[in-house]
Structure 1
Amino acid sequence: ATCDAMTEDGAVFGGQNNLFEGLENAYALYKPKMMPVYTTCMPEVIGDDLTAFIKNAKQKGHVPEDL
Structure 2
Amino acid sequence: MNIINRSAAGRFAAAAVIAVGAAVAAVLLGTALYGSDRHSTRAFRVLRWLSGRPEPRQPRGS
Q: TM-score, normalised by structure 1?
A: 0.29
Higher helix share: 2
Which has the higher Rg, Structure 1 or Structure 2?
Answer: 2
Q: TM-score, normalised by structure 2?
A: 0.31
Relative contact order, higher structure (CA 8 A, sep 6+) = 1
